[in-house]
Amino acid sequence: MKPVVETEHLSKWYGNVLGLSDVSLQIEPGITGILGPNGAGKSTFLKLILGQLKPNIGTCAIKGEMIRNNYALFSNIGFCPEQDAFYDELTGWQFMIGLLKLHHFSSSEIEIRARKALEIVELIEDKDRIIKSYSRGMRQRLKFAQAIAHDPEIIILDEPLNGLDPLGRRKVIRLIKSYKGEGRTILVSSHVLPEIEAMTKRIILIHQGKIFAQGDIHYIRDLIDTHPHIVSIKCSDPRQLASKFIQEDFVLNVNFSSTEGTLLVKTNNRDKFFGILPSLFVKYDIDVEEITSPDDNLQAVFDYLVGK
């Protein structure tokens, strides 16, 4: 398949700070997840692809054409920025109409497209409310709507799930997945692995401005699974639970947290651990208040992989 986005030795510095270093890759149609902890260089990468930033070294092309100041290319590109920024005094409808005007559609087509996009993101009922009064989730969906309204071939979404509640996330994920058909290329950045996992299997891992890994999501999943993992369990009888866990070979150590009734278990096999956990609760009649994974995030995985 012909790549839609191609970069060669793409590098960017902000003064002495490295934003992106020597990134050469090709992105094909379909959904590609750009994954990395905060400050890894995801937004820099997307802004370079969009020509919003100038690379210090290297080149970036979309469908074989250089992007910077090549504004005609934007007829085919939709961008949902990371920042929660709008022309706040406008209504959702005015915002959509105004931005669609910049695509030079006729007035009737602008209205049709604005209506369709707002219907897709389920904001049509609220189209006449000013954006300032929208909830975070609505604003996020409005950003998505302006990115898809002109029916672009390439959609670039920078942290589209940031600040959304679980229901809002599900809605946006469903929207993104619904848009992958018809040969579209969708690039989504996130710092949360399960979010990307819910949308695509194809990922690019960025860490400290470099491409850390690229390929199938199972690869990163495997890395996470072998990564020693801490689970915090707040329950009615942490001592009883600790005595049982200590006998298991997949448990590396057990500690009691400073928070009363909380047990910290370090395991090197998450699947086995979570497989046995419910049966222990039932068998010893333990009431569970909370189970959390304090290091179930990408930063922990990256720190582990780079040997910190």
- Contact footprint for another protein (CB under 8 A): 14, 50, 52-54, 69, 71-75, 77, 79, 81, 83, 85-87, 89-90, 94, 98-99, 101-104, 146
CB of 81 to another protein, least distance (A): 5
CB of 271 to another protein, least distance (A): 38
CB of 212 to another protein, least distance (A): 24
CB of 89 to another protein, least distance (A): 6
Q: Which residue, 76 or 268, is less far from another protein as judged by CB? A: 76
> Phi and psi dihedrals of 78, rounded to 5?
-115, 135
Q: Which residue, 144 or 245, is less far from another protein as judged by CB? A: 144
Q: Which residue, 1 or 17, is less far from another protein as judged by CB? A: 17
CB of 220 to another protein, least distance (A): 27
CB 308 within 8 A of CB 257: no
Q: Which residue, 62 or 220, is less far from another protein as judged by CB? A: 62
CB of 17 to another protein, least distance (A): 11
Q: Which residue, 10 or 217, is less far from another protein as judged by CB? A: 10
DSSP of the chain:
---SEEEEEEEEEETTEEEEEEEEEEE-SEEEEEE--TTSSHHHHHHHHTTSS--SEEEEEETTEE-TT-GGGGGGEEEE-SS----TTSBHHHHHHHHHHTTT--HHHHHHHHHHHHHHTT-GGGTTSBGGGS-HHHHHHHHHHHHHTT--SEEEEESTTTT--HHHHHHHHHHHHHTS-TT-EEEEEES-HHHHHTT-SEEEEEETTEEEEEEEHHHHHHHHHHS-EEEEEEES-HHHHHHHHTT-TTEEEEEE-SSTTEEEEEES-HHHHHHHHHHHHHHTTPPEEEEE-TT-SHHHHHHHHTT-
Q: Which residue, 30 or 39, is less far from another protein as judged by CB? A: 39
Q: Which residue, 41 or 81, is less far from another protein as judged by CB? A: 81
CB of 135 to another protein, least distance (A): 19
